[in-house]
Amino acid sequence: MTTTTPGLAERAVRAARTHRAADPDGFRHRHDNPETWNRWARRARVARTIATALQVPVDAVLVTDDPHRTYPARTGDVPGDLITITDRATGSAWRFIPDHTTPGQAWLLLDHCPGCSAEAPVARVATLADLGDHLDPDRDTRPVWENQKTADHQPGCTELHSAAETAARGATRRSVG
């Protein structure tokens, strides 16, 4: 039995169809003006970078507008990047947003907050090992509370509340020590 790798044309057409289905507006309007084309090209680089870091095929990565987060730019607020990696082996989707403390080099994994079940950053990921440390933590693994924005959580979220207390205790310890 032989397995054949699809040719470039077949893979290109499949990639276009995937984009049209997943992000119709972004794909259709990518040539509208220099800004949209620049965003499209920049997101292509984001996809290549995270695909390399997490050792997945580039065409498993889709970067679209983040419906919940905007960032200030010279031209006003622009939508952030929402990075979706579809795992071929399991079919499950992994979502990331940029980690703005290390632009282009690390990302924040989004998952359901245990306190309020809203989707929020749960791990800072630059390598496959970071993701593994989150999935299989040991006692040194620390949650990513410094990146938490109240807006990502439901009002009264217990995790956010206890994280604020932990951060306050840490600050007190540092100022004493």
Q: What is the largest CA-CA distance in the chain?
A: 69
- 3-state SS class at 50: helix
Cα→Cα distances 118→54, 122, 154, 176, Å: 25, 11, 6, 35
Nearer to Zn ion, 29 or 69 (CB): 69
**DSSP string over 107-123:** EEEEEE-TTT--EEEEE
CA 148, distance to chain mean position in Å, is 14
Please, which residue, 80 or 115, has the CB nearer to Zn ion?
115
Q: Which stretch binds Zn ion (CB under 5 A): 11-19, 37-45, 81-89, 116-124?
A: 116-124
Contact present, 145 and 113 (Cβ < 8 Å): no
**Residue 113 engages Zn ion in binding (rule: CB under 5 A):** yes
Interface stretch with Zn ion, choices 56-64, 72-80, 100-108, 109-117 (CB under 5 A): 109-117
In contact, 97 and 111? CB cutoff 8 Å: no
Q: Determine, following the binding rule CB under 5 A, whether residue 163 of this chain makes contact with Zn ion.
A: no
Q: State yes or no: residue 115 binds Zn ion (CB under 5 A).
A: yes
Residue 60 or residue 113: which is nearer to Zn ion going by CB?
113
CB of 164 to Zn ion, least distance (A): 12
Residue 47 binds Zn ion, judged by CB under 5 A: no
- What are the residues binding Zn ion (CB under 5 A)? 113, 115-116, 153, 157, 159
